Structure 1
């Protein structure tokens, strides 16, 4: 697999996450630390699925644990602040990309049962190729959370134009 787009999406997100003035979401959505914890959870889950496929297992991707506020709080508490969360996201995203870079066409095409929620909304409940799960991170998931972080910048500095979407998932 080619992970150039996913690596680029993470570079952009991490630049925004490291920027100044990230406040709270005006609509009660996630703050920056919760977004970063969510990304850590999702990346670990997708990496585990990819490694499971390579091992010949029949893994399932279910993102509900990645949305759980208790789990996000646990992940945040394991880090000494935003800078450490950012470093961990950078490292774990790199690991996920390294795993994906090594997938052959057969592994990338394996159908993985997937159950995806965004907040309380069911987004997907059907098998998807492993490659599609990973590409979805680059095409939708990471850019969506980048916009969410940009929205938090706007919340912290009302003079900036609105660039973000709040919410979860």
Structure 2
């Protein structure tokens, strides 16, 4: 079982615009059957977690909730949940939620869908194993960063998915204060 952050990012490192929109992503040309494509990734999943903004964007801008995975949504407020969906609202510590997700996933992978700050909380707790980023051929200039943490990553796979450059990284640890970042 692996805990993954699978997301798309602009080339300049943002997952959403300043006004928290993902509309920019929906205009991009991506191959749903290509290497490291979303449908293949989704097949290996047993549970997922996301923040309230990600959840609300999916519910209000897509075709509704189409996930069948047990899902934990981190929120400090009540949110309307689709009838029959396997969703839990939580304010619990990520360690507790990770343990619950692991139990429900029955050996399958866990997906931390975003946003970046939530993923950072999992990374801070040592609970993030891999980061998969699909880099879109667009820059946003500002917005929500893909991962607002200093992490040391090891590239383990790379692919092209039409116009997207896809990278899969293993999390090897957090960069500590005073470490030099080689550019």
TM-score normalised by the chain length of structure 2: 0.28
Question: Where is the strand percentage greater, Structure 1 or Structure 2?
Answer: 2
Compare the two structures and name the one with the higher helix fraction.
Answer: 1
